[in-house]
Amino acid sequence: MTPVWFMRQAGRSLPEYRALREAGGTMLEACLDPATASEITLQPVRRHGVDAAVFFSDIVVPLRLVGVEVEIAAGRGPVFPEPVQTAADVARLVRIDPSLVEERGESIVDAVQRTTAMLAEEGERRGEALPLIGFAGAPFTLAAYLVEGGPSKDHLGARSLIHSDPSAWHDLTHWLAEVTGRFLALQVRAGASAAQLFDSWAGALAPADYRRAVLPASAAALEPVRALTVGGDRAVPLIHFGVGTGEILADMASIGVDALGVDYRVPLDAAAARVGSHLTLQGNLDPALLFAPTEVRRAAVHETLAAGLAARAHVFNLGHGVPKDTDPDVLTDLVRTVHAWRAS
Amino acid sequence: MTPVWFMRQAGRSLPEYRALREAGGTMLEACLDPATASEITLQPVRRHGVDAAVFFSDIVVPLRLVGVEVEIAAGRGPVFPEPVQTAADVARLVRIDPSLVEERGESIVDAVQRTTAMLAEEGERRGEALPLIGFAGAPFTLAAYLVEGGPSKDHLGARSLIHSDPSAWHDLTHWLAEVTGRFLALQVRAGASAAQLFDSWAGALAPADYRRAVLPASAAALEPVRALTVGGDRAVPLIHFGVGTGEILADMASIGVDALGVDYRVPLDAAAARVGSHLTLQGNLDPALLFAPTEVRRAAVHETLAAGLAARAHVFNLGHGVPKDTDPDVLTDLVRTVHAWRAS
């Protein structure tokens, strides 16, 4: 049976999530409150019957933990009141000790522990183990927000810094690699059983820039998790994902991951041909299909499943995060459709 | 010598443009005032010595001409106070007669005629002909704005309508094809010597959706220009461009164009391999390089020129529009660097 989970499965598409968040508090407060974060993480597992939970958090959480001022503006995304744009800005930032992630990460550890306990209960009811996927943002995507001071259309600020000040860029992204890598490892040590690195905006880069100025920092971000071993083996599988990454799929795979998320622009069989058949592929139904008539949507799910056979293994997912206007019943039906499918 | 021009070469990067616009009026008023539009069109030609002028206009101008309410919000983009989201909205819209584009397009004809006259003078000074490139938006990109009511990150509204109501989608995009195609033909009949169709957001589509639900409307949009012939030959060359279109380059070329614009994510030699060597390629220096040190930037220009040798012919351009913070002197230097280059 092909397992299925959804990027951003916990969140605004669920009425129970909106009810919980309406009780008050900012998005980052919700991420940092263990009872809230674990409850939100479990909501889509209970409702949709997905095969994995994704830790409810945000890629900027480790930055908040080490003391960088940041908020998540509703309907907009992460906003940094003090953007990091000059060599002096970078120098100030990288003086912050990344080990503050662990020192101040107690609420994350607590939330992960509560979540895995709740998942164990839920898994017992279902008669199957329910893994928790931890996640973190990759250095480029974090830098894209930090340099612009918030979301942007083409991340030109960060992409320009690569060329205008390669040394500041190097320092910034390698500091981010350590901060975000520690955040990911923290989740794994607390009990997460897989780790996904999101480089959401890597597809905005020219491939040569990705390889030269981004890939090494992404690989470095995985080091803290890679260092965790169980009986000589890596403790957990590593997953990597970005949007619009058709030109750099093989490069993204090359940072040393077990699974690669593919967005909806590249069919999974084409993706397998690009990255080699040793990788698990994750994806990639176009979220636009969530608004299609049932039969059209189910046919598209079957097509995605068939294309996924070209990979070593396939984890069904959307080709991007769950849109906020999604009808939750459609997601539940998607899970059932995936589970009911047998390769013919 | 490889010719060079820049997408969005007229506009906010030029102080003389900002001075002219500060005199007052909205963006659309500037587009619809022949003296202003022609002057703005000439500004980058005079300053940078580019080899072509691009008519100063906007892809929503033909919609304004036929009476659709639209404004261009500074720093944001086109905004439609009444988004077109339901079958009823589409039915209302497509009742508008597309021939109003010509009936009310006098200011466009006037602006093009003034511009070509000014270009003839400028060309005489330089001792070379200076073509005017007319342009229009492709149906999908126009629909992306119309359905959302403004700019959006992933154009999910339009991409969903493809699936949720294929019939409304068909009617909407074929009506848009006629409106925008007439706008393009109007510019050519008035004297433009090339015609570019911008499908800026086509790269947001899954390739199968592009082929099935977008490509036919794009081809239809070119019909009014294709119908214009001189001595049995097509009157002007046709150019097509979109961002992030690596997966659909060959499909975009297949609508029957002479030249294809390529964004910075796909090196020109790779693009030539995908679309075949019968096409002129246009592109594709990453705008991020405009912020690099001079030597780094010039080396990147040389690399782009060398990659362009793989195409039947190469027109140098950026891989996206000129960013508003660009130092104009950098663009001028870019033109000189391209003109000074000889394939070794």
Residues 6+ apart with CB under 8 A from B157: B83, B85, B144, B147, B148
B129: which 2 tokens? 């002909």
For residue A128, how many other CB atoms are within 10 A of its CB?
10
Determine the distance from the C-alpha atom of residue B128 to the mean position of all C-alpha atoms in its chain, rounded to a whole number: 24
The C-alpha R_g of chain A, in whole angstroms, comes to 19
pLDDT above 80 for B149: yes
> How far apart are alpha carbons A299 and A282 in whole angstroms?
18
**pLDDT per residue over B269-298, tens digit each?**
999 999 988 999 999 999 999 999 999 999
A17 is catalytic: no
- Comparing CA positions, the residue from A66, A218, A80 lying closest to residue A136 is A218
The predicted pLDDT at position A344 comes to: 64
Q: Which residue in chain B has the smallest CA separation from A157?
A: B288
Q: Is A109 exposed, middle or buried (0-12, 13-18, 19+ CB in 10 A)?
A: middle
CB contact B266 to A (< 8 Å): yes
> How far apart are alpha carbons A8 and A331 in whole angstroms?
12
Please state the φ and ψ torsions of residue A200, each to the nearest 5 degrees: -50, -40
3-state secondary structure of B227: coil
Candidates 3.20.20.210, 3.40.50.300, 3.40.50.1260, 3.40.50.1970; CATH matching B15-343: 3.20.20.210
Spell out which residues of chain A touch residue B154, defining contact as CB-CB under 8 Å: 320
The predicted pLDDT at position B234 comes to: 81
pLDDT above 90 for A130: yes
B176: which 2 tokens? 């848009």
Spell out which residues of chain B touch residue A290, defining contact as CB-CB under 8 Å: 160
Q: Do B156 and A293 touch (CB under 8 A)?
A: no
Spell out which residues of chain A touch residue B209, defining contact as CB-CB under 8 Å: 286, 288
pLDDT above 80 for A37: yes
Return the percentage of chain B with pLDDT > 90, whole number.
94
Rounded to an integer, the average pLDDT of A73-88 is 95
Rounded to an integer, the average pLDDT of B220-244 is 93
Range B62-86 burial, b when 16+ CB lie within 10 A, else e: bbbbbebebbbeeeebbbbeeebbe
The Cα of B110 is separated from the nearest Cα of chain A by a number of Å equal to: 35
Selecting from B163, B246, B267 the residue whose C-beta is nearest the C-beta of A289 gives B163
The Cα of A49 is separated from the nearest Cα of chain B by a number of Å equal to: 25
Q: Do B292 and A154 touch (CB under 8 A)?
A: no
**pLDDT per residue over A268-294, tens digit each?**
999 999 999 899 999 999 999 999 999
The C-alpha R_g of chain B, in whole angstroms, comes to 19
Tell me which amino acid residue B216 is: P
Would you please indicate which residues of B are annotated as catalytic (active-site) residues? 8, 12, 21, 58, 145
Please state the φ and ψ torsions of residue A142, each to the nearest 5 degrees: -65, -45
Q: Are A161 and A267 in contact (CB under 8 A)?
A: no
Spell out which residues of chain B touch residue A244, defining contact as CB-CB under 8 Å: 203, 244
Residues 6+ apart with CB under 8 A from B72: B26, B27, B28, B58, B60, B78, B79
A286: which 2 tokens? 């176009």
The predicted pLDDT at position B14 comes to: 97
Q: Count chain A–chain B contacts defined by CB atoms under 8 A.
A: 81
3-state secondary structure of A212: helix
Sign of CA dihedral A103, A105, A110, A113: negative
| Residue A259, beta-bridge partner list | A239, A280
Selecting from B156, B164, B247 the residue whose C-beta is nearest the C-beta of A265 gives B247
The predicted pLDDT at position B20 comes to: 95
Please state the φ and ψ torsions of residue B114, each to the nearest 5 degrees: -60, -45
> How far apart are alpha carbons B260 and A271 in whole angstroms?
25
Selecting from B156, B286, B288 the residue whose C-beta is nearest the C-beta of A323 gives B156
Q: What angle do CA A155, B243, B258 make, to 5 degrees?
A: 150
Interface of A with B in 186-245 (CB under 8 A): 203, 205-209, 244
The predicted pLDDT at position A233 comes to: 82
Q: Are A147 and A71 in contact (CB under 8 A)?
A: no
Distance spanning both ends of chain B, measured CA to CA: 13
Spell out which residues of chain A touch residue B293, defining contact as CB-CB under 8 Å: 163-164
Q: Do B291 and A163 touch (CB under 8 A)?
A: yes
> How far apart are alpha carbons B304 and B269 in whole angstroms?
9
The predicted pLDDT at position B233 comes to: 82
The Cα of A144 is separated from the nearest Cα of chain B by a number of Å equal to: 13
The predicted pLDDT at position B232 comes to: 82
Does residue A317 have a cis peptide bond before it, meaning omega lies within 30 degrees of 0?
A: no
Distance spanning both ends of chain A, measured CA to CA: 13
Selecting from A244, A267, A288 the residue whose C-beta is nearest the C-beta of B244 gives A244
Query: What is the residue whose two structure tokens read 């021939």?
Result: B99
Q: Are A164 and A89 in contact (CB under 8 A)?
A: no
Q: Which of A17, A145, A210, A264 is the catalytic position?
A: A145
The Cα of B159 is separated from the nearest Cα of chain A by a number of Å equal to: 6
Helical segments of B204-243, H only? 207-209, 215-226
Residues 6+ apart with CB under 8 A from B312: B277, B278, B279, B280, B281
Q: Do A247 and B265 touch (CB under 8 A)?
A: yes
CB contact B288 to A (< 8 Å): yes
pLDDT above 80 for B302: yes
Please state the φ and ψ torsions of residue B340, each to the nearest 5 degrees: -80, -10
Please state the φ and ψ torsions of residue B244, each to the nearest 5 degrees: 65, 35
CB contact A127 to B (< 8 Å): no
Rounded to an integer, the average pLDDT of A296-320 is 97
Q: Do A291 and B163 touch (CB under 8 A)?
A: yes
**pLDDT per residue over B171-229, tens digit each?**
999 999 999 999 999 999 999 999 999 999 999 999 999 999 999 999 999 999 999 98
* Mean pLDDT for all residues in chain B: 96
- Residue A20's pLDDT band, with cuts at 50, 70 and 90, is very high
Rounded to an integer, the average pLDDT of B304-313 is 97
Q: Are A18 and A11 in contact (CB under 8 A)?
A: no
- Report ipTM for this prediction: 0.94
- Residue A163's pLDDT band, with cuts at 50, 70 and 90, is very high
- Cα dihedral: A267, A270, A274, A277 (round 10): 100
The predicted pLDDT at position B210 comes to: 98
Q: Are A335 and A326 in contact (CB under 8 A)?
A: no
CB contact B162 to A (< 8 Å): yes
pLDDT above 90 for A210: yes
> How far apart are alpha carbons B14 and A339 in whole angstroms?
57
Spell out which residues of chain B touch residue A206, defining contact as CB-CB under 8 Å: 264-265, 286, 288, 319
The predicted pLDDT at position B344 comes to: 64
Q: Are A242 and B301 in contact (CB under 8 A)?
A: no
**pLDDT per residue over B91-122, tens digit each?**
999 999 999 999 999 999 999 999 999 999 99
Tell me the CB-side half-sphere exposure of residue B117, using CA atoms within 13 A: 11
Q: Do A203 and B244 touch (CB under 8 A)?
A: yes
